[in-house]
Amino acid sequence: MAPPFPTPKFVTGGCLCGQIRYRVDFPAHHDFEASSGTCQCTLCRRQSGSLFFAYHQLAPATTSFTFVTPSTATTAPGSAPVPNSNNSTPIPDLKNPTALLTYLADHTNPHSERGVCRACGSWLYWRNRAHDVLALAVGTVDPLFLFGEGADGVDVPLEGYGRALVNGGGGHYFVENAIRGVTDRRGRGKRPRRGG
């Protein structure tokens, strides 16, 4: 059954300074509702500077998430390239951009990593290499796709695809860390985990 909101075939995004760009291609069978989630662990709060980390899970990460240069990341079929806000040079290695810094995300899990831009510090994703799963930081998705900035209503809906990317239908981690009256209504009782 199709979800009650428009879903993208792909989205693009990147870091704050524009040195890292990515594209996510969604397979036809991608479950947008189950892939949307949040995490309230202490590590994600400290990394994001927010009360919870809103993510969209991609699995397998290796086939759906790719780094691109600003000249190859199109915003929609037939549209102009995504602008590179600081006119930085294109990323020479699409598999591992030189601006990307990865580090161990959690000392208890040697397979988890966080990907950040070494130039501006933007946090792009959390990844579990052992299971080939990537949790994309939804806030790094381009405004066109996230909330419809500049959308024409044909290739991209006027409201964008934000609801598809972070609808709250998937996992909610470390809900026991919820702040009463503020974050305790996000996914109450869904897949709680201890720690963080």
Query: In this predicted model, what pLDDT tens digit does every residue of 103-122 receive, in sequence order?
Result: 776 767 777 888 889 889 99
Q: What is the pLDDT of residue 140?
A: 96
Q: What is the pLDDT of residue 73?
A: 41
In terms of residue numbers, what domain contains 160? Answer: 10-78+135-177
Q: What is the pLDDT of residue 196?
A: 44
Can you tell me the distance from the alpha carbon of 18 to that of 15, in angstroms, rounded to the nearest whole number? 5
On whether residue 196 sits in a domain, the answer given is: no
On whether residue 28 sits in a domain, the answer given is: yes
Residue 84, classed as helix, strand or coil, is coil
Residue 53, classed as helix, strand or coil, is strand
Contact call for residues 59 and 133 (beta carbons, < 8 A): yes
On whether residue 94 sits in a domain, the answer given is: no
* Max mean pLDDT range (41-45, 51-55, 99-103): 51-55
144 Cβ contact partners less than 8 Å away, ≥ 6 residues apart: 75, 76, 150, 151, 156, 160
Confidence class for position 152, pLDDT limits 50, 70, 90: very high
On whether residue 143 sits in a domain, the answer given is: yes
Percent over 70 (pLDDT), the chain: 76
On whether residue 126 sits in a domain, the answer given is: no
DSSP secondary structure, 103-162, as one string: EEEETTEEEEEEEEETTT--EEEEEETTTTEEEEEGGGB-HHHHH-TT--SSSS-TTTTH
Contact call for residues 29 and 17 (beta carbons, < 8 A): no
On whether residue 45 sits in a domain, the answer given is: yes
Can you tell me the distance from the alpha carbon of 153 to that of 144, in angstroms, rounded to the nearest whole number? 11
For the chain, the average pLDDT equals 78
147, pLDDT greater than 90: yes
On whether residue 108 sits in a domain, the answer given is: no
On whether residue 118 sits in a domain, the answer given is: no
User: How many structural domains compose the chain?
Assistant: 1
Minimum mean pLDDT range among 57-61, 151-155, 170-174 = 170-174
* Max mean pLDDT range (3-7, 167-171, 173-177): 3-7
Can you tell me the distance from the alpha carbon of 178 to that of 51, in angstroms, rounded to the nearest whole number? 9
Cα separation values, 99 from 82, 106, 115, 123, 135, Å: 18, 22, 10, 12, 19
Q: What is the pLDDT of residue 137?
A: 95
Q: What is the pLDDT of residue 71?
A: 45
